[in-house]
């Protein structure tokens, strides 16, 4: 099956690129890695002397905007009697399901931020794209032919700055403007599997469980884009990053982050839904890095928009991470939290979640690690009161009763109205 072949290629890509990520990513310095496999090494590939010969074109058409070369007409609503018209109606139904679903995020500030970015990137197409943020803890964004853009909260947890978010949103806008979403739906329709998008919308509209995500990934791999469409959408994305002054090297950096996470997943059945529906050639990060190296000298000042992004996400960090814990995929969550910790993003809070991960997983030495992370969290100027409650629990597990009681006391002092006060007092007395 074609989709599986693409997926295998994508997974092979993960394995071969995984090792580069920890050494600083594509934006890092030039190490001695140039003598290693250049075709799969984004670090080596951005050096001018290390650009490998290959079929992937380096040059992107920066002379014209993607809007000028788009295949989709403005407000091109198809006649109802046509196949495209019926696919459009199915998309409308799917969108209604998502909008009314339990998982929809209604916070006005977050919607204004993400929707505003989509609008900016969509340019003249802004008025026909509606953005919906849905509470699903996995890396994904998707686009329906009718202009419905769906962004999962797991994506927001995994991107580090506005440039990385823009890279994904612009990729999806590229699928829309190039009519890939229509082609993809038509293709599925002719395979007598027309309901697949409605099924996917129904699952993602709720607050899915781990099994739902496995089912979604399977559906997504059946309903995947072609590799050619992927390359085209990546090109649109890069051109839009350049147009709006975002650092284009953030696109390849994001892929490296996501690939590091996927490589850590021991359970291959829980593969990323984005990779399942967006099959990439194994050198995607490499290709994006080379294109950024081509574009950067032609740009003026660039920005990543890190502080703006952090300000928009910070109020939601706790709920995003809580949803990740529900998936019980600790190997992947460990990588995500490590990456956030490396970025020094809300250190007191992230260190607390790292402690929680090890306390909940409770494998060999995990309680020791949990204690270390709670300690680090407390040393940060801002940390949640719950860190003292968890610290108490970890001390109890380690048999350190008086340390546990001191931590519990501190928790009750900092959270006087805690709902679990009676429970904590009972633990202290026992």
Q: Please give the residue ranges that form the binding site for Zn ion (CB under 5 A).
A: 225, 230, 233, 278
CB of 41 to Zn ion, least distance (A): 23
CB-closest chain residue to Zn ion? 278
CB of 67 to Zn ion, least distance (A): 19
Decide whether 41 or 142 has the Cβ nearer to Zn ion: 142
Instruction: Identify whether the C-beta of residue 28 lies closer than 8 Å to the C-beta of residue 43.
Output: yes
CB of 234 to Zn ion, least distance (A): 8
Decide whether 185 or 313 has the Cβ nearer to Zn ion: 185
CB of 236 to Zn ion, least distance (A): 10
How far apart (Å, rounded) are the C-alpha atoms in residues 316 and 24?
27
CB of 31 to Zn ion, least distance (A): 31
Decide whether 132 or 171 has the Cβ nearer to Zn ion: 171
Decide whether 289 or 407 has the Cβ nearer to Zn ion: 289
Query: Could you give the dihedral angle defined by the CA atoms of residues 403, 409, 413 and 414, in that order, rounded to the nearest 10 degrees?
Result: 50
CB of 231 to Zn ion, least distance (A): 9
Decide whether 140 or 249 has the Cβ nearer to Zn ion: 140
Decide whether 235 or 250 has the Cβ nearer to Zn ion: 235
């Amino acid at each position: 099956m074609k989709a599986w072949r693409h997926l295998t290629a994508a997974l092979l890509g993960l394995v071969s690129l995984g090792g580069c990520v920890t050494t600083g990513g594509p934006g890092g310095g030039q190490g001695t890695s140039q003598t290693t496999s250049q075709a799969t090494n984004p670090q080596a590939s951005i050096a001018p002397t290390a650009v490998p010969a290959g079929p992937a074109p380096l040059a992107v058409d920066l002379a014209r905007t993607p809007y000028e070369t788009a295949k989709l007409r403005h407000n091109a609503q198809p006649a109802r009697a046509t196949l495209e018209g019926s696919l459009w109606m199915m998309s409308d139904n799917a969108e209604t399901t998502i909008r009314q679903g339990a998982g929809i995020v209604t916070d006005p500030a977050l919607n204004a931020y993400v929707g505003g970015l989509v609008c900016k990137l969509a340019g003249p197409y802004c008025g026909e794209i509606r953005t919906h943020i849905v509470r699903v803890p996995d890396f994904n964004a998707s686009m329906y032919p009718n202009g419905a853009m769906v962004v999962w909260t797991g994506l927001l947890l995994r991107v580090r700055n506005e440039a990385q978010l823009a890279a994904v949103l612009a990729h999806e806008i590229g699928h829309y403007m190039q009519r890939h979403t229509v082609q993809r739906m038509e293709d599925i329709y002719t395979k007598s599997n027309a309901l697949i998008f409605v099924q996917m919308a129904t699952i993602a509209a709720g607050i899915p469980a781990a099994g739902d995500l496995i089912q979604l990934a399977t559906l997504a791999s059946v309903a995947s884009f072609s590799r050619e469409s992927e390359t085209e959408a990546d090109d649109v994305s890069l051109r839009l990053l350049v147009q709006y002054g975002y650092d284009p090297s953030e696109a390849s950096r994001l892929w490296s982050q996501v690939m590091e996470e996927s490589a850590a997943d021991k359970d291959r059945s829980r593969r990323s839904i984005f990779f399942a529906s967006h099959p990439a050639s194994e050198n995607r990060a490499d290709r994006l890095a080379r294109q950024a190296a081509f574009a950067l000298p032609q740009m003026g000042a660039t920005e990543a928009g890190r502080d703006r992004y952090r300000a928009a996400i910070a109020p939601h960090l706790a709920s995003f991470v809580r949803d990740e814990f529900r998936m019980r995929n600790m190997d992947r969550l460990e990588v995500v939290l490590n990456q956030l910790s490396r970025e020094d993003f809300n250190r007191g809070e992230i260190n607390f979640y790292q402690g929680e991960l090890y306390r909940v997983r409770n494998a060999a030495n995990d309680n020791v690690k949990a204690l270390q992370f709670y300690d680090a969290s407390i040393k940060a100027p801002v940390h949640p009161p719950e860190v003292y409650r968890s610290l108490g629990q970890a001390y109890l597990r380690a048999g350190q009763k008086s340390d546990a009681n001191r931590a519990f006391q501190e928790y009750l002092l900092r959270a006087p109205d805690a709902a679990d006060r009676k429970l904590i007092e009972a633990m202290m007395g026992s």
